[in-house]
Amino acid sequence: MLLKDKVTLITGGAAGIGKATAQRFAEEGATVIICDVNSEAGEAAAGELGVAFYQIDISDLQAVEKWIDDVVAEYGRIDVLVNNAGVLRDGQLVKWKNGEVVSRMSEEAFDLVISVNLKGVFNCTQAVAPVMIKQGGGVILNATSVVGLDGNFGQTNYVATKAGVIGMTKVWARELGRYNIRVNAVAPGFTATEMVVQMPEKILDGMKSRTPLGRLGEPRDIANAYLFLASDQASFITGEILRVDGGIVVGT
């Protein structure tokens, strides 16, 4: 029971890595509250796992602040925040063919990914930090990605957010350490979430062939990394980026 009675918030907890993390934390005794923009999936996950659910758009600061206030009013404290929620809108910066630009990443696609993956992490952390300071400590865990470290073709917006999360993690570890708040990030590689496993077999085989361990990660693999970093077993670890990627280095 590594997280016995720890009040834990997990954003994007309706599916994939977020749902697996909610399940793993609950198994270890945490009081888990998930949020997601998808109310149907969120309610289904909450019912399945026996956790609480709030429908929240994390890019909306006022909605986030109200969520945090409601959680504190209901549970009295927040011990762990897992900033897991994120979106993808892939596309090349510019696509060039026959001497001209035939497509480009849209402003809407860029702004959406920034608003959720980067601003959303900022919103949730800024709202939770005062709660943790007042209570004498806490743990903040951020979802980045190996592409935030290595880059990836066709993902200007996504890579920008994941690299930004790495930077914010290091800043917050310095700013909040004096209040006994640890801040770390996890950088998954190719992981078999619901979205990924629906990809064509050829693409999945390519992901596996580029991973030295020869398989995709399971959501529970990532959840176990979050569990370790959230627990007292990692009490002297802060400002770190833990790769959970089967040894992959994303190339061109």
**Strand (E) or helix (H) holding 65:** helix 61-75
Pairing of strands 7-11, 52-55: unpaired
Nearest to 155 by CA among 93, 216, 198, 63: 93
Whether residue 52 contacts residue 32, with contact meaning beta carbons closer than 8 Å, is answered with yes
Distance, CA of 73 to CA of 158 (rounded, Å): 34
Whether residue 211 contacts residue 190, with contact meaning beta carbons closer than 8 Å, is answered with yes
Helix, strand, or coil (residue 198): coil
Distance, CA of 149 to CA of 31 (rounded, Å): 32
Nearest to 219 by CA among 68, 5, 12, 9: 12
Beta strands of 68-152 (E only): which ranges?
80-83, 94-97, 100-104, 138-143
Packed helices 219-230 and 16-27: angle between N→C axes, nearest 10 degrees: 50
Placement of tokens 């029971």 in the chain: 1
Distance, CA of 21 to CA of 34 (rounded, Å): 10
Return the biggest CA–CA distance within the chain.
62
54 as an active site residue: the answer is no
Of the residues 54, 75, 158, 226, only one is catalytic, namely 158
Active site residues: 158
